[in-house]
Amino acid sequence: MEVNVLNINGEDTGRKVTLNESIFGIEPNDNAIYLDVKQFLANQRQGTHKSKERSEISGSTRKIGRQKGGGGARRGDLNSPVLVGGGRAFGPKPRDYSFKLNKKLKVLARKSALSYKASENSILVVEDFTFEAPKTKDFIKFAKNIKVSDKKLLLVLPESNNNVYLSARNLQKTQVISVSGVNTYRVMNAGVLVLTEKSLNAIGDILIKKEA
């Protein structure tokens, strides 16, 4: 699959790049995508949730009613989960939600996500560029030039670029990452994937190396 290379003004440079079929043209594996996205979201969870159980509530342990003859259920102390202000039965406890996945499965998931974007014609390739200073209006102009200002944009750079990152930081639908930050969730969550020429080559090198 060939894609035209655009410049920062949205003009066709007359050059084309070929998307690697082994990365951008495979049959997507939905289950691999699901597992990789699930792992990414699980790893974001802090797992610090906690509620107090009966033994952790500060309150009197005096028995509040007689054992028998009261005409109702047996009652213990005021910390009982069935009473207002009592402890919580089977409440949440701190835990680690992260889990591991096979490396080859994660590579398959990322290739599947990229293949989905390629099949939807949601991948744009632009010349390598930078901004002289971090200005949001410059990034807005760039997005309008390549006709993606109304879409959820994921821009992938070959390496971190502070001027470009800061220019896009305040834009709600825009995310700028380096090649090392590309993952299945971010690709699938984007409406359009914008790659520079160097980042396109770097993605291919990384995924092919991890697969080996």
Which residue ranges make up each domain of the chain? 2-46+102-211, 51-91
Q: Is residue 184 scored above 70 in pLDDT? A: yes
CB within 8 Å of 92: residues ≥ 6 apart: 49, 50, 51
Q: What is the mean pLDDT of residues 166-178?
A: 93
Which pTM does this prediction carry? 0.83
Query: What's the fold here for domain 2-46+102-211?
Result: Ribosomal Protein L4; Chain: A; (3.40.1370)
Task: Quote the pLDDT of residue 56.
Answer: 92
- Six-digit token pair at 31? 């289950």
Mean residue pLDDT across the chain:
92
Q: What is the mean pLDDT of residues 188-196?
A: 95
Q: Is residue 49 scored above 70 in pLDDT? A: yes
- What is the share, in percent, of the chain residues with pLDDT greater than 70? 99
Give the separation between CA 7 and CA 129, rounded to whole angstroms. 8
Task: Quote the pLDDT of residue 211.
Answer: 63
